[in-house]
A and B are shown apart, each in its own frame.
Chain A
Amino acid sequence: KQEVTQIPAALSVPEGENLVLNCSFTDSAIYNLQWFRQDPGKGLTSLLLIQSSQREQTSGRLNASLDKSSGRSTLYIAASQPGDSATYLCAARYPGGGNKLTFGTGTQLKVEL
C-alpha cells in the first residue's frame, strides 16, 4: 500500500531559524513529489515539484530534496518568517495512477516573533 507520512504533525520555531520538514513514502517507485503550502481555510499553493530523477529543487528560501532509496523527501526553509506559518503538505505521484496524488498528513508550522 502506498502511504505518505509527515512527522512532526506540528512544529513551532522562533523567527529566523532554519528548519526542515520531513516526508516519508513507503513505495519508492514514485514519479514525482510535490510540496504544497496551505493557509487555514484556503486552497493549496504549489511550492516545489521534484521529479524522481532529481535530487534537489530550489525556489528562493525553499529547498526540497528527494532520496528514493530511503523513501524520504525534505523541505528546507531558510531564515523562517512569521509569514511562513501554514500547513505544509507533501504529495507523491505514482506511475499509472492517472495523476492521482497521495498526500501526507501535513506539518502545521508556526513561526513566532
Chain B
Amino acid sequence: DTEVTQTPKHLVMGMTNKKSLKCEQHMGHRAMYWYKQKAKKPPELMFVYSYEKLSINESVPSRFSPECPNSSLLNLHLHALQPEDSALYLCASSQRIGLALDEQYFGPGTRLTVT
C-alpha cells in the first residue's frame, strides 16, 4: 500500500478562523513533508519532519504551524491566514531522510480557499 491520505479535500476559511489539515500514511515511513502549490506552479516545500522531529522549515510564516504527533500522522494548523495563502496543500512521505533511493509519495491534497 503506497497511499497517503489527506483530509479534508476542500476547505474554505475566513481570515480569522483556525483550522487544521490532516495527513496520514501507514507505510512505516519516517519522513513526512508539507508542500504548497499555487495554480500552474510546481510544489514548494514548506516543512520536513524526520522521525517526528521538525527537520526543515523553509522560512514559512508562523500562521502555519506543523505538528507530527506520531510516525503516521502529520497535521498543519492554520491561523489568521491571508487570501494569498489559498492554494493546494500537499502532504508527502518517504522512507527516511538521506536514503539514496528514497522516493516521495504524495497525497491527493487539500484545496484551501481563504476568504
Contact = CB atoms under 8 A, between A and B. Distances in A.
Decide whether A and B assemble into one complex.
Answer: yes
Interface of A: 31-32, 34, 36, 41-46, 49, 51, 89, 91, 93, 98-101, 103-106
Interface residues of B, number: 29
Contacts of A45: 106
Interface of B: 4, 6, 31, 33, 41-43, 45, 48, 50, 55-56, 88, 90, 92, 94, 97-98, 100-109, 111
Given A98-B48, A99-B94, A103-B43, A43 B100 contact: no
A34 B106 contact: no
A100 B104 contact: no
Given A100-B56, A103-B43, A44 B106 contact: yes
Nearest to A100: B45
